[in-house]
Amino acid sequence: MTSGSTTVEVPVLTPGQRIGVALDRPTPGPVSWLAPEALGGFTPVTADVVPGGVRYRSANCRALTSRGAAVLHRDAAGHLTGGERLPPASVSCAPGERVLPVVLVPGSEVHPYCGLGPE
């Protein structure tokens, strides 16, 4: 996705998966579709905002490559009010469950970008 001079690579999405993109007026760029068998059984990494940080969960057998995360901010009515990006070092794509410290406003949702290959 591109917005002005900023480009964000959104890694593998599985069918039906929802992802956030923290760019102002994003424009989708080239899309590469992989055959489902190319994923080798990998599943998306999920994230929840918890007191003191973000809890990342991965059911994968090995770590994926972190490419950061989009953080979407919503008001009490659920309307989108803004967004930001977390750098790759602040996002866990490792197997299991990890809580990493970060301060986010109430109503934030985190969408980790975890890919199969190196950066």
| Mean pLDDT, residues 15-19 | 67
Q: Going along 10-95, which residue ranges are E strands?
A: 46-50, 53-58, 65-74, 80-86
pLDDT digits (tens, 9 = 90+) for 72-87: 998 889 888 888 999 9
Return the pLDDT at 59.
93
Cβ atoms of 41 and 16 closer than 8 Å:
no
Return the pLDDT at 13.
63
Q: Angle at CA 105, nearest 5°, toward 98 and 47?
A: 30
Q: Going along the chain, which residue ranges are E strands?
A: 2-3, 6-7, 46-50, 53-58, 65-74, 80-86, 96-101, 108-115
Average pLDDT of the chain is 83
pLDDT level of residue 24 (50, 70, 90 thresholds)? low
Cβ atoms of 23 and 1 closer than 8 Å:
yes
Residue 55 pairs in a beta bridge with 48, 99
